[in-house]
Structure 1
Amino acid sequence: MSEENPAEGDHRRASIVTALREGVRRVDDLARACGVSTMTIRRDLRVLEQRNEIRRVRGGAVPVDAWTFGHRRGRSTAAKDVIAAKLRPLLPERGGVGFDGSTTVHSLARLLKERPANDLTAVTTGFETFHELSGTPGCRAYATGGTADLHTGSLVGPLAEVTLQQFALHTCFLSATCLDDSIGSTEFTADEAAVKRALTAVSRRTVLAVDSSKLGRSAVAKCLSLDEIDILVTDLDPLDERLDPYRGLVDLL
């Protein structure tokens, strides 16, 4: 048996968690959805339970309600590193940028600390991302304020949206819970979707960064249509056939 690529396992386990949060519960159904054996699913569920991302139940599993930033940061790490490296050249050396509170975009903030810009102003809806950016040379960081979304930890609500209206940004960097070629990007909560739309509204360019496990899926709250996204960045090669549904609709990186 050939050894599995760690990124493939990360992607599959991320897909499992997403499927659980969408209502798929049984091991057999998860195996069919992921195209792997039930034995592989059971191994993945043991890993996810150790990370406290899911709870095993008879015949399957359910998602853990408290999906903390730390838990999410530990998922699909290889894919996030690939995406962050692709995102770094899209950052201007000076001017204003927006960062959402996702762990994917947080990976870009960490990379920026290693390779600083010259005179960058960054506003973010993520407390952890603000903390990362505030210690970065050549970067002036602002946090929006607002209420922490219980599902994501992002700062949301009227205060966050009003704060964003005070900025005129060059580029905003967002992630998404899911991305579907007909629906666009979606989120687990309407508040999270609203604050990301507010970031887009004050930015000249919108970059959406998602790992490939999120493609072809949808969550409950609509966020951005594909025509509102300028560049789609994934961990895949831009020529990968899994990106065919988005080809010609957005720039792929």
Structure 2
Amino acid sequence: MDSNTGEASDARRAAIITALREGVRRVDELADCCGVSPMTIRRDLQFLEEQGAVRRIRGGAVPVDTWTFEHRLGRGAEAKWRIAEKLLPLVPDQGGIGLDGSSTAHHLALALQSRTPRDLTAVTTGLETFHRLSRIPGVRAYSTGGSSDVDTGSLVGPLAQLTLQQFALETCFLSATYLDPALGSTEFTAEEATVKRAMVTVSKRTVLAVDSTKLNRHAVAKCLGLDEVDLLVTELAPDDATLTPYRELVEIL
């Protein structure tokens, strides 16, 4: 029988909010995540809606608020720093690079502060990343502009795409909501996927950086096939068994 009392209910409802913030929306998916019945999830969603924490939609719910960038930056920080250390040697001293609005790409911008590029142009869809890049000597930083994606905080939309068309970049550094061997990278929203594809279009090389918690999962919006990715970077060693499904599909660092 499903538990609906005391600490178990509180813990489950906290897990539901976490899952909603990570992009899970449907009642059946929430039930799988929490190991309870859909009926229990519906009762929890009703309770959470009455508390003002979620808004129910057909077949599921959405969070009323979204995680702040600072919260996302702190999640899995150790893995993201290891990824940034691998990415840093791939950044040239001059030329052009692109960074998406992910917290993983932001860690690369933070790591770049340890270097002094000669004449590096960096364009990004992340406002926080733009502000960080603009403080680094030798870096000419550009923000794409656009509207803020409500789920990710990244800049998206026609203005962001139009801005990217003005650049010819050597390398773009992207992350993903999730990565699946068959589906490739996926995002919470089609708008996020579209602007990332626009950055790939103007870049000679595409580096996809994801921590291992994002592997073998997928969100709703397809973004890049692994045949469109030149290099996959995780915090894991390239020969780690977790990466076996990807090893014949893409070069791994």
Query: RMSD of the alignment, in Å?
Result: 2.2
For the pair 1:101 / 2:104, whether they are aligned, the reply is no
Structure 1 residues 17 and 210: CA distance shift in structure 2, 3 A: farther
Q: Residue 126 of structure 1 corresponds to which residue in structure 2?
A: 126
User: Could you tell me how far 1:30 is from its partner in structure 2?
Assistant: 4.3
- Map Cα deviations across residues 46-90 of structure 1 (whole Å, 9 max, x no partner): xxxxxxxx98xxxxxx86641221221110001000000000011
Alignment equivalent of 1:25, drawn from 30, 33, 38: 30
What residue identity is the alignment partner of 2:30?
A: R
In structure 1, runs of 5+ residues without a counterpart are 1-12, 33-53, 56-61
- Map Cα deviations across residues 6-31 of structure 1 (whole Å, 9 max, x no partner): xxxxxxx9xx74896334435x8447
Structure 1 residues 119 and 216: CA distance shift in structure 2, 3 A: same
Q: Residue 174 of structure 1 corresponds to which residue in structure 2?
A: 174
Q: Residue 233 of structure 1 corresponds to which residue in structure 2?
A: 233
- Map Cα deviations across residues 165-196 of structure 1 (whole Å, 9 max, x no partner): 00000000000000000000000000000000
Confirm or deny: 8 A CA contact 2:19 2:30 kept in the other structure: no
Of all paired residues, the percent bearing the same amino acid is 62
TM-score (norm 2): 0.78
TM-score (norm 1): 0.78
Q: Distance in 1 between matches of 2:71 and 2:167?
A: 31
**Residue-pair matches, total:** 212
Q: Residue 223 of structure 1 corresponds to which residue in structure 2?
A: 223
What residue identity is the alignment partner of 1:220?
A: V
SS at match of 2:113: helix
- Map Cα deviations across residues 210-250 of structure 1 (whole Å, 9 max, x no partner): 00000000001000000000000001111011101110211
4+ residue segments displaced more than 2 Å: 16-26, 28-32, 62-65
SS at match of 1:120: strand
Larger radius of gyration: 2
What residue identity is the alignment partner of 1:124?
A: T
Q: Distance in 1 between matches of 2:21 and 2:216?
A: 12
Structure 1 residues 243 and 77: CA distance shift in structure 2, 3 A: same
For the pair 1:67 / 2:67, whether they are aligned, the reply is yes
In structure 2, runs of 5+ residues without a counterpart are 1-14, 37-52, 55-61
Q: Distance in 1 between matches of 2:64 and 2:236?
A: 28
SS at match of 2:236: coil
Confirm or deny: 8 A CA contact 1:120 1:139 kept in the other structure: yes
For the pair 1:114 / 2:114, whether they are aligned, the reply is yes
